[in-house]
Chain A
């Protein structure tokens, strides 16, 4: 396994794997993170798994860079490479229009397709959640079909509305709360993705998300149901033996 370490600050390090969006590689990163937590590794204060990196923050009164490097080497050496699990696909309704997705036309132009074809391409793929991050409830997912994988904006927007759905290169995702950000926006989901009074997330790394196009009328209807707590997200269980 090809990887390296980088000390980011006095009390944080990063494990770096080859820079790629790759399900197996990411599953190993999730596995290291889980094991550091399960083992209650001494002095580890916070962990951030990402596509090809794992950031580990620690307390240098309790552990050291070298101690952690040794522990992580050990975990990687013993990692179980042949796991097979079923997939959970969460179906998320999205209304694609220029009001909710101001970059819809730009991304269609970038891909040299019509807006209808763009929507078809974006909803036609199941996206793997590689990591949670950026904001509470924000899932980094891939991979967007190459044709419509437009890079992020040069200057980030100061405010993006909660529920907005966008692409940034091969990545796609939803903004769970109002936030600044540089992703190209295609539409919006009526589902409340983050509730501070009940911060339980609806999806986790390792799950899949499938977008389903809905029109404005349906968007409003789902929004009302969701606010009342009556809307059930559709979750599809698919294939694979769970050796978990």
Chain B
């Protein structure tokens, strides 16, 4: 029998996402994939999945789901209230779900994007061009290229007992964001000194125009270079300046090429926080260099790697499930660890 979760309430715009299809940008297909890659990776690590396993990404309001099989789940990203069979469950830790359960993820109190990962390989819809990621604008991937709807069955795999997973959790401190770091973009030099200065000194505000393609920023309009550009390839986090002087930050579903000058690129380590900022929130851009940007990203990846290492090396410690408690060898290990 096929295993799945049935959609009772779809949430605001819940889609299947993995790491996207970067190799098909050459044909003009958007990269897509998770917006907040830290939360995405963390959710997969928690339930012991491969780094490219597909999960459900929801926007501001999460889905309600019925499970027809056993699973372990993890909820990461924007802050939400979630319940399993009407009992509150926590974010950033593994939760065991029995067949027949109902999971409800409510409205986010902070952030925009959340991830729900399922153990034993995640969501297993048919990949399209090497990825399960949904690109809504092109109706591609995921579940028929669209967001979840009431009544949909999302295919997952049944999970047999994996008691060691239950001990997995991580404390994620909410951060108050005031600055976003950037490296100079390929067209930085095209902008007047006045424009460069304004870009750094002024406060930028998230406008209401935000989606998986990009976030438009509000503030005083920047002076725009006279010269028109030929279109060039785009990169996740590019900050382009439109003809009317407004910055747009290009995100997961961005067009593969664009013709507006790119003044800056937000560093990868800050992009996860940036995509979680809400309409009306304000921040300043702070310049950094490529070396520091790279170090920041490596440090962020190290948090995930170390957390995983820690879980992995402690997998035989208590609390473990009833089945393994009887195993003599494990019992010895537990004693040795005490």
Contacts and interface: CB of A to CB of B under 8 A. Distances in A.
B257 A57 contact: no
Interface stretch (B23-31, B116-124, B279-287): B23-31
Nearest to B265: A9
Contact of B257 (A37, A140, A155, A196): A140
B243 interface: yes
B267 A9 contact: yes
Contact of A140 (B138, B231, B262): B231
B230 A52 contact: yes
A76 interface: no
A136 B28 contact: yes
Nearest to B243: A154
Interface stretch (B66-74, B170-178, B233-241): B233-241
B185 A8 contact: yes
A7 B186 CA distance: 8
Contacts of A60: 294
Interface in B7-40: 22-31
A153 B138 CA distance: 23
Contacts, number: 136
Interface stretch (A40-48, A120-128, A219-227): A40-48
A114 to B, nearest CB: 26
Given A14-B232, A48-B234, A134-B258, A9 B128 contact: no
Interface residues of A, number: 51
Contacts of B230: 19, 21, 50-52, 171
A112 B237 CA distance: 41
B233 A50 contact: yes
A154 B128 CA distance: 36
B28 A132 contact: yes
B259 interface: yes
Interface in B248-294: 255-259, 262, 265, 267-268, 290, 293-294
3 A-B pairs closest in CB distance: A55-B233, A48-B233, A46-B22
Interface of A: 6-12, 14, 16, 19, 21, 33, 37, 45-55, 57, 60, 131-138, 140, 151-156, 168-169, 171, 177, 179, 182, 194, 196, 199, 201
16 contacts: A6-B186, A8-B185, A9-B183, A9-B293, A14-B233, A49-B26, A49-B233, A50-B230, A55-B234, A60-B294, A131-B257, A134-B255, A137-B28, A152-B259, A182-B259, A194-B138
